[in-house]
Amino acid sequence: MTGYDTVAELRRAGPWEFLRSFARAWQLPARPAWDQAAIEQRLDRPIPEMLCVAYGTGVFDLRGLHAEDGILVFHSADPLVAEASWGITLDGADPAVLIDNGAGWMPYAPDLPTACVTLALTAAVETDRPGDAVAACELDADEVAAAVAQFERVPLEDHPMWIDVEEGPVRWYSRPGRLIRTHGEGGAWLWVRGQTPDDLEAIRAALPGVHWAS
């Protein structure tokens, strides 16, 4: 089986190297260049070093970086889809990443590298670019375990669903060339992406009887 092996690459590489290779393999959109000095002048504070490293992967857009309520917001969702922002504490006392999707700031991931990996995976399965091999379906509680058993769990902790924490937890699975996300307790939504159309068809073939919403 050929294709990008998400689990193997995440275990082999550090998070920043993984993000670069993942972005290339799944053709994530390239982000514009950023002027660190100009943004720090606007913020009136230095950008944390680890955040600079994260932006250096080319996966994230630094232009929207801003501070609010003691939080340095480093990533935001498409406002046409939902209001959601990710941030870290300005004082750096807590390494955890927080999320606010309208209900106030709450824990999202234990650290910045973990959060960045989940955001890249999310960008891959939620792509709306024409030609990308994506699909989704809703599974009953008794269907979820059998569906994901055919894939390997990506070594990430459960995390909230960004659009609505009540729809979590989010879990990730993969095989080479194939990426799977579930979210929900009991029954769950299954989001899939193939690196090629053939990979997507292989996922569909592995889950006979499923009604695909897309």
The contacts found for 17-23 with CB under 8 angstroms, 24 or more apart, are 18/117, 19/54, 19/57, 19/59, 19/116, 19/117, 19/120, 20/57, 20/58, 20/59, 22/120, 22/121, 22/124, 23/57, 23/58, 23/59, 23/120
Residue 123 confidence (pLDDT): 93
pLDDT tens-digit readout, 82-94: 788 999 998 776 7
Whole-structure pTM over 0.85, yes or no? yes
Return the bridge partners of 153, or none.
Answer: 173
- Is there a domain that residue 70 lies in? yes
Domains held by the chain: number: 2
Which residues form the domain of 44? 6-123
| C-alpha span between 98 and 41 (Å, rounded) | 24
For residue 130, give Cα distances in angstroms to 54, 126, 133, 134. 27, 12, 9, 10
| C-alpha span between 127 and 214 (Å, rounded) | 12
One domain for residues 119 and 131: no
Cis peptide before 169 (omega within 30 of 0): yes
One domain for residues 148 and 191: yes
- Is there a domain that residue 212 lies in? no
> What backbone torsions phi and psi does residue 169 show, to the nearest 5 degrees?
-80, 160
One domain for residues 47 and 61: yes
One domain for residues 24 and 106: yes
Residues of the chain below pLDDT 50? none
Q: Tally Cβ neighbours within 10 Å of residue 158.
A: 10
Residue 132 confidence (pLDDT): 93
Residue position matching structure tokens 């955890």:
96
Q: What is the CATH number for 170?
A: 3.30.160
Please check whether residue 24 is in contact with residue 44, taking contact to mean a CB–CB distance below 8 angstroms. no
| C-alpha span between 108 and 92 (Å, rounded) | 16
One domain for residues 86 and 143: no
Residue 142 confidence (pLDDT): 82
Residue 166 confidence (pLDDT): 66
